Amino acid sequence: MLEQEITPEIVKEHGLSAQEYQRILGALGRAPNMTELGIYSVMWSEHCSYKSSKIHLKKLPTERPWVICGPGENAGIIDIEDGQALIFKMESHNHPSYIEPYQGAATGVGGILRDVFTMGARPIANMNALRFGAPEHAKTRHLLAGVVEGVGGYGNCVGVPTVGGETNFDESYNGNILVNAMNVGLADANKIFYSAAAGVGNPVVYVGSKTGRDGIHGATMASAEFTEDSEEKRPTVQVGDPFTEKLLIEACLELMDTDAIIAIQDMGAAGLTSSSVEMASKGGVGFLLDLDKVPQREENMLPYEMCLSESQERMLMVLKPGHEAEAEAIFRKWELDFAVIGEITDSGHLELQFGGEIVGDMPINSLVDDAPEYDRPHVPTPKRQAVEVAAPDDINQAILDLIGGPHLCSRRWIWEQYDHMVMADTIQRPGGDAAVVRIHGTEKAIAISTDVTPRYCYADPFEGGKQAVAETWRNVTAVGALPLAITNCLNFGNPERPEIMGQLVGCLQGISEACEALDYPVISGNVSLYNETNGTAILPTPAIGGVGLMKDSSKMATVPFKRDGDVIILLGETKGELGVSLYQKQILGLDEGCPPSIDLTTERRNGDFVRALIENGQVDTCHDLSDGGLIAALADMAISGKMGAVITVGDLIPLHAVLFGEDQARYLLAVDASLAETVINEAMDAGIPVAKLGTVGGDKITVNDGVVNIALDDLTKAHEGWMPNYMTAE
Amino acid sequence: MKSAVIVFPGSNCDRDMAVAIEKVTGVKPTMVWHQEYDFDPVDFIALPGGFSYGDYLRCGAMSARSHIMGEVAKRAKAGVPTLGVCNGFQVLAEAGLLPGALMRNAGLKFVCRDVSLKVVNADTRFTSGYDGGQEITVPVAHHDGNYFADSDTISALEDGGQVAFRYTEDINGSCNGIAGVTNKAGNILGMMPHPERMVDPALGGFDGIHDGRALFESVLAGIG
């Protein structure tokens, strides 16, 4: 294999263009061997190099005073005071999850956990954003079941709670589901570990699981479109071992308590190759690796295979000289492999030794800095015209269909398969606006929400990008937390098509504008392109993971109605925006018009006002308005609180537009009757549109004296029933 | 009261158990790594939840055969109150310290949610703080909590007052809805639900229920 001649076919199989191959020849001054070609192919893959997105990602706002570390490291870091820091990131595992849903999803969780604990954090919360094809598509049920089981199988065993997420269905994901996993960890702000290698002669140490032949070329697979024969790629899906990951977490955190580590990096996509190249590149040094010393699970592995394997649960470290024995003792205690596999050099090259010979020698900067960067042509999505959206034949039935349909039904079937309580700090469980996890041993808590509305992004990428950020901000606000920063996972189709590139560029502009206006910087993220099957792209799906901080978690607000007689108050302006609404999609089966507009100044003003109400103890029951509009929020509050509501809305706007409109920057509150007038007056003083809609109580949801009249029991049955029924149907 | 929490590779509710014990007893328990079999004498031993040895082979099977379980068995047989929760229950059953076995949930899925339990026998080292017949809410989080024993064993458990807790609805297919059992002497309790997750009002859902607390208070009261 080492001697194999590099033909144009082999270059193509490695996902490299002819021009890119010429670039490699230029960088090396000679032809690469197979191992080197393999390494260039993964380092220059879309997945590792961000070659199509980089020039646009650079424009994202990434700085604010509380940001300790923005994009570029394994994960981003923010300061949450008292000497503590949060480390978080979201990452995609789309392609593997479609091919093998359980392992694809499980290793997605494993990978994002490593990105976080490699920086010195104890992981404290898992989140996810999942998209599946249409419910009626033949594969959807199988994929949903497998992904959920995989997410749970990994997180439950590792003992990190999976506290929330979002799950959506759309036919554009029929052949290309999305599995985006997020993790949040807690670290001491003065004890953070980075990946920059340093110190010529210092030992390079491999810890964790042994290297096998699994996952070879996973990063390359993730950088190509799917075709019918993608099933044949099943062997490139990695297999996860959460038990080893748990040991690895404990061993790494134990070693981090000592003074032995100079740099540490997990082996993620492209495994040993990308971890060593990134560490060397960041530190401006070279690496000499002796591949014979790599712990191996299988016999007769070749350098090519060892370098490209994506075997899971492995880490690479640079230790301070003389600390090897101390470190080894810790890893032996946890029954993990520990091997010194090389050393830092001043060559500026990645040199690979095998059987006593040098089998690879590449300049580090050529692998990283010389990676191609493309300014791909992009055309904006054409602006749409606003349309009239018809009323339903039967509004009561439409409400039942929505609340009891695939898009708004309870996700309990999913999250009851996740241990969402382990670590005993989950103070707001799944099902609310944001998950809330207490900072262990304190009164502080963090709120986390993952959101995006892909149908908005498809209709108008700029407004959709803004909305995705604004919705996480609103969800984090609705529990009473101050939103601090986001991570993102940008899932798009083939960037070589100008209209897809236009979606990416438009969404990023929207995200930037919202982050800027809301003081909500991007601190980490991931790009997943080529999400297409046989030329059909997914809806543009820039999933946003937002994180906020609550100083006094006893003030936290939740969704369920709590007291009979509470006054129901709607904050924010209702114009009845039904373009691209869930109502239009599900009930009318249409995708027309413009998504709701986002005014970020209004968003901020309204959100800041709500947060203050919660912090002051005036409000403990709050829900943001999003998919499905006012009636969906009201139903959630009633169903979860097991209390009905009687409301009246005016007739200036058609009733279906009031109930289903998805106007932004709105919150529904249930306020103790004695405080209601004060809250309404304060809103008016702040210039915020406010409406007293009615009161909590009874066993029905009633609107406008019975125009809408639905028994809470029926609504609850519909809401809770859809997913279990769907999953058990043949 | 001096307590020990036994930690196996893959235990993941060890911290939760320790926090709960300290909250109720006021004393931090000793965390005992599975290789430290000569740990100091204690008044109470807890085997926490998690996935010891990754649940490989069978849940609890590898831990049950680990060296430290010999020591735990010796002390438990000598009368030290010993609690196994979730994976800890599986370990106790695999070790033969409790009758029966925990099989895969009848629904075949992992289940994590609050469940309602009936306190069947309030006259044990672990339940004296409850009223007999009282219904409490405690969460479960398991994939293999389907309690099984042959019918003679089940009858003996029921007649002998060894059933401590029973689910009020079918959660996982357990025989007679058994959620927790003791040994004959009543000083060893295994249960699938997690009482340690219900000692803190902030975690008690929306209504402030914290029904795990009385279990630890019972143990403490028995020690005096």
What separation in angstroms does the CA of A126 have from each of A58, A122, A156? 27, 12, 10
A363-389 average pLDDT score: 95
Distance from CA of B117 to the nearest CA of A (A): 18
Quote the CA–CA distance of A106 and B110 in Å, as a whole number. Answer: 15
> Would you state the pLDDT for residue A454?
98
Quote the CA–CA distance of A331 and B53 in Å, as a whole number. Answer: 16
Distance from CA of B82 to the nearest CA of A (A): 21
Q: Per mean pLDDT, which range of A9-18, A210-219, A522-531, A647-656 is the poorest? A: A210-219
How deeply is A263 buried, as exposed, middle or buried, from its count of CB atoms within 10 A (0-12, 13-18, 19+)? buried
> Would you state the pLDDT for residue B203?
86
> Would you state the pLDDT for residue B206?
38
Candidate from B54, B110, B196 with C-beta closest to A243: B54
Map residue A342 onto helix, strand or coil. Answer: strand
Residues of chain B in contact with residue A152, where contact means CB-CB under 8 angstroms, are 110
Q: Both tokens of residue A373?
A: 């960067």
Give residue A548's pLDDT band: very low, low, confident or very high (50, 70, 90). very high
Active-site pick, A93, A323, A349, A719: A93
> Would you state the pLDDT for residue A1?
45
pLDDT beyond 50 at A77: yes
Q: Which residue out of B15, B90, B110 would a mutagenesis test of the A interface target, given it has the greatest number of A Cβ atoms within 10 Å?
A: B110
pLDDT beyond 70 at A466: yes
Residues of chain B in contact with residue A419, where contact means CB-CB under 8 angstroms, are 110, 112, 141
Quote the CA–CA distance of B146 and B170 in Å, as a whole number. Answer: 10
Residues of chain B in contact with residue A562, where contact means CB-CB under 8 angstroms, are 206
Distance from CA of B86 to the nearest CA of A (A): 12
Residues of chain A in contact with residue B105, where contact means CB-CB under 8 angstroms, are none
pLDDT beyond 50 at A446: yes
**pTM (two decimals):** 0.96
> Would you state the pLDDT for residue A230?
60
Distance from CA of B144 to the nearest CA of A (A): 13
* pLDDT tens string B160-198: 999 999 999 999 999 999 999 999 999 999 999 999 999
Angle at B76 between CA B72 and CA B78, to 5 degrees: 120
For chain A, the residue count is 730
Cβ within 8 Å, pair B109-A417: yes
Give residue A223's pLDDT band: very low, low, confident or very high (50, 70, 90). low
Backbone angles phi, psi at A463, to 5 degrees: -65, -35
Candidate from A334, A417, A424 with C-beta closest to B203: A424
**Amino acid type, B177:** G
> Would you state the pLDDT for residue A393?
97
Quote the CA–CA distance of A526 and A490 in Å, as a whole number. Answer: 6
> Would you state the pLDDT for residue A345?
98
Q: Is B158 considered catalytic here?
A: no
The residues with which A266 forms a beta bridge, in sequence order, are A315
> Would you state the pLDDT for residue B207?
45
Q: Which residue out of B8, B59, B112, B199 would a mutagenesis test of the A interface target, given it has the greatest number of A Cβ atoms within 10 Å?
A: B112
Taking only residues 576 to 605 of chain A, the set having a beta carbon closer than 8 angstroms to any beta carbon of chain B reads none
Q: Which residue out of A332, A413, A416, A419 would a mutagenesis test of the B interface target, given it has the greatest number of B Cβ atoms within 10 Å?
A: A419
Candidate from B13, B19, B110 with C-beta closest to A417: B110
Question: In whole numbers, what is the pLDDT of chain A averaged over residues?
Answer: 95
Strands A349-354 and A286-290 turn out to be parallel
* pLDDT tens string B106-117: 999 999 999 999
Q: Both tokens of residue A146?
A: 């497998």
Distance from CA of B63 to the nearest CA of A (A): 14
Q: Which residue of B has its CA nearest to A443?
A: B202
Cβ within 8 Å, pair B12-A158: yes
Crossing angle of helices A629-641 and A395-403, rounded to 10°:
60
Taking only residues 502 to 521 of chain A, the set having a beta carbon closer than 8 angstroms to any beta carbon of chain B reads none
Give the N- to C-terminal CA distance of chain B in Å, as an integer. Answer: 8
Give residue A275's pLDDT band: very low, low, confident or very high (50, 70, 90). very high
Give the B-side interface with A, CB within 8 Å.
9-10, 12-13, 15-16, 19-20, 49-51, 53-56, 109-113, 139, 141, 143, 194, 196-197, 200, 202-203, 206
Candidate from B9, B19, B113 with C-beta closest to A424: B19
Backbone angles phi, psi at A619, to 5 degrees: -135, 130
Q: Does A164 touch chain B (CB under 8 A)?
A: no
Using alpha carbons only, how large is chain B's radius of gyration in Å?
A: 16
What region, left, alpha or beta, does residue A368 occupy, with left being phi > 0 and alpha being psi -120 to 50 degrees? alpha
Cβ within 8 Å, pair B13-A422: yes
Q: Does A621 touch chain B (CB under 8 A)?
A: no
A38-67 average pLDDT score: 94
Q: Does A560 touch chain B (CB under 8 A)?
A: yes
Q: Which residues contact B207 (CB under 8 A, 6 or more apart)?
A: none
Candidate from B10, B51, B197 with C-beta closest to A424: B197
Residues of chain B in contact with residue A423, where contact means CB-CB under 8 angstroms, are 15-16
Distance from CA of A180 to the nearest CA of B (A): 21
Q: Does A419 touch chain B (CB under 8 A)?
A: yes
Closest by alpha carbon to B173, among B99, B105, B85, B102? B105
Closest by alpha carbon to A432, among A91, A717, A719, A166? A166
Task: Determine contact, residues A281/A210, Cβ cutoff 8 Å.
Answer: no
Quote the CA–CA distance of A179 and A51 in Å, as a whole number. Answer: 22
Q: Which residues of chain B have pLDDT under 70?
A: 205-210, 224
Candidate from B110, B196, B202 with C-beta closest to A427: B202
What is the dihedral angle through the alpha carbons of A475, A481, A484, A488, rounded to the nearest 10 degrees?
-30
* pLDDT tens string A146-163: 999 999 999 999 999 999
CATH top-level class of B3-221: alpha beta
pLDDT beyond 70 at A402: yes
Cβ within 8 Å, pair A247-B141: no
Q: Which residues contact A589 (CB under 8 A, 6 or more apart)?
A: none
Active-site pick, A14, A47, A349, A420: A47
Give the 3-state secondary structure percentages of chain B, helix then strand then coil, rounded to 5. Answer: 30, 25, 45
**Amino acid type, B138:** V
Using alpha carbons only, how large is chain A's radius of gyration in Å?
A: 26
Report domain extents, chain B.
Answer: 3-221
Quote the CA–CA distance of B190 and A718 in Å, as a whole number. Answer: 38
Task: Determine contact, residues A493/A500, Cβ cutoff 8 Å.
Answer: yes
pLDDT beyond 60 at A190: yes
Residues of chain A in contact with residue B21, where contact means CB-CB under 8 angstroms, are none
Q: Which residues contact A593 (CB under 8 A, 6 or more apart)?
A: A384, A385, A386, A387, A389, A459, A578, A579, A580, A584
A/B interface, count of CB pairs below 8 Å: 84
Helices (H), ranges, A188-335: 218-221, 242-256, 271-283, 303-308, 324-333
**Residue B31 CB neighbour total at 10 angstroms:** 17
Q: Both tokens of residue B153?
A: 């064993």
pLDDT beyond 60 at A41: yes
Cβ within 8 Å, pair A243-B19: no
Candidate from B19, B55, B141 with C-beta closest to A422: B141
Quote the CA–CA distance of A463 and A454 in Å, as a whole number. Answer: 11
Give residue A40's pLDDT band: very low, low, confident or very high (50, 70, 90). very high
Task: Determine contact, residues A719/A633, Cβ cutoff 8 Å.
Answer: no
**Residue A485 CB neighbour total at 10 angstroms:** 26
pLDDT beyond 80 at A485: yes
Distance of CA A96 to the CA centre of its chain: 16
Please count the CA atoms within 13 angstroms of the CA of A646 that sit on its side-chain side. 8
Q: Which residue out of A102, A246, A420 would a mutagenesis test of the B interface target, given it has the greatest number of B Cβ atoms within 10 Å?
A: A246
Candidate from B113, B202, B206 with C-beta closest to A560: B206
* pLDDT tens string A512-527: 999 999 999 999 999 9
ipTM of the complex: 0.96
Q: Is B196 considered catalytic here?
A: yes
Q: Does A438 touch chain B (CB under 8 A)?
A: yes
Element (DSSP H or E) covering residue A79: strand A76-79
Task: Determine contact, residues B11/B55, Cβ cutoff 8 Å.
Answer: no
Task: Determine contact, residues A686/A572, Cβ cutoff 8 Å.
Answer: no
Q: Which residue of B has its CA nearest to A641?
A: B206
Active-site pick, B86, B94, B142, B143: B86
A49-53 average pLDDT score: 94
A322-326 average pLDDT score: 96
Cβ within 8 Å, pair B203-A416: no
In b/e form, how buried is each residue of B118-133, taking b as 16+ CB within 10 angstroms?
Answer: bbbbbebbbbbbbeee
Cβ within 8 Å, pair B197-A243: no
pLDDT beyond 50 at A359: yes
Task: Determine contact, residues A461/A473, Cβ cutoff 8 Å.
Answer: no
> Would you state the pLDDT for residue A215?
74
